Chains A and B, each alone.
Chain A
């Protein structure tokens, strides 16, 4: 068993209007995916392509209307497993203001273990540990609404870490942050992935963030349209353009040069690689 999240023919639609008898469009249409334990998977797609809907199926916030979703082998439809699924698959949302439940940082971080009935001394240990992991320990007695956006998001991540999850789904965690807040969040994700072996699912609009993943999934209108290593996905520049997605700056540069008649490999994703390719060609 090395699969963290598995969806099989997952289909979902929102019940918009009970009276209207027009066809309700499927927001997710036969999505089948397997996310391996300990990997870092990025999900891309334009607005409304169904990314958040897919994410919410991973910890049973939504239940499939067709097909199945299993998290660590547990069927999300099994109500008796609900808390265990949510404990093992944490979720961080876009707006930190709307996921912080307390007016004190450490009480907020304690919320999940309190819900799980963890004993007080163990809650204390987890809260301190989680706050140290995200570098917010000195702020444990502060009021969250007085923190910066990036700091709030780190508190929100700590709140999820306190559940001791094996997988964390981040739904555009950096969309509302300034560049330094974004960097902090990405550093934490990196740390979780490489030091703790946490499975990470990152939904993002920032291609530079997706480029750091082990695997990139591209969604469009409720379908998975591309799936592969970042290098394999980002070389499909024209298709991505058609989907309304950008590509990393490095790929864009190489692509434009190629169009101008310079023969270059498109898969030099990191800035170092890109520089090396250019140096080899022109140097």
Chain B
């Protein structure tokens, strides 16, 4: 069950998408997010779907894997859809008790859910195809100018990459602890919410203890490998922009312009 959580996971590969400069990918995702919020019509959603489909197919990551990332957030999506269906005013289709379902509501629900799903899938494409360290390097370099105003850019980037590094390990560990507790008769699936939460306590306590111990040991291991902050650090892989990055920027600009134009004409 926890194995389904793909947040922060990286799927190594050697495709165009994998080889794009992490800075490019971060900027592309930001543009994608902005475009998703501007998009309001069938035409613009269709355009964005094509973009997403293109990215997924170029990265050769299985669609099922990308969809899996959405799974933990189904609840949020369902609530959004629900609120949209019942709280949008417009032409009433069905009416019962205090609820009114409007045509606009249904459209809104579909669009909003689709928007969230596409936002998640799009942003996950970044972590799926970019190793945490590359992501860190990218963010660090993009935010580099902020060092001037004393923002601890390297430290923030390092913290993020460590969190991403530990997520798969901790998920594995949670699964192990849960199996161990289940073997001793623990029951996580029945009962009301409070009972379920109580059943989780015996998992969370060992998990937290182990997470702190791990973090401690990891810090010692990093120190003994000469880690001393970002000062004077070099890189195995130096970031360089190449043709494919410029092509991506141009395409992103074109898509953004397209979405804005469509929105402008109310399409």
List chain A positions with a Cβ less than 8 A from chain B: 56, 59, 61, 82-83, 86-87, 90-91, 93, 95, 97-104, 106-107, 110-120, 123-124, 127, 141-143, 145, 159-160, 163
Contact = CB atoms under 8 A, between A and B. Distances in A.
14 contacts: A61-B220, A83-B228, A90-B224, A93-B221, A98-B218, A101-B221, A102-B165, A107-B134, A110-B235, A117-B232, A117-B234, A123-B236, A141-B14, A163-B225
B234 A145 contact: no
Given A104-B131, A114-B233, A120 B238 contact: yes
A151 to B, nearest CB: 15
Given A103-B133, A124-B236, A143-B10, 12 more contacts: A86-B225, A86-B226, A93-B217, A97-B214, A101-B221, A102-B133, A106-B236, A113-B236, A117-B234, A120-B237, A142-B12, A163-B226
B138 interface: no
B218 A103 contact: no
Given A143-B12, A145-B172, A112 B226 contact: yes
Given A61-B224, A83-B228, A101-B162, A117 B218 contact: no
Given A86-B225, A145-B168, A117 B233 contact: yes
B177 interface: no
Contacts of B237: 107, 120
Contacts of B223: 61, 86
B236 A103 contact: no
Contacts of A83: 226, 228
B196 to A, nearest CB: 28
Nearest to A159: B225
Interface of B: 10, 12, 14, 131-134, 161-162, 164-165, 168-169, 172, 213-214, 217-218, 220-228, 232-238
Contacts, number: 107
B226 A103 contact: no
B234 A123 contact: yes
Given A98-B217, A102-B133, A127 B226 contact: no
Contacts of A127: 236
Contacts of B226: 83, 86-87, 112, 115-116, 163
A215 B225 CA distance: 27
B236 A99 contact: no
Contacts of B213: 98
Q: Which 6 A-B pairs have the closest CB atoms?
A: A99-B221, A110-B236, A98-B217, A112-B225, A115-B226, A117-B232
A143 B8 CA distance: 13
A103 B164 contact: yes
A61 B134 CA distance: 28
A98 B214 contact: yes
Contact of A120 (B14, B218, B222, B235): B235
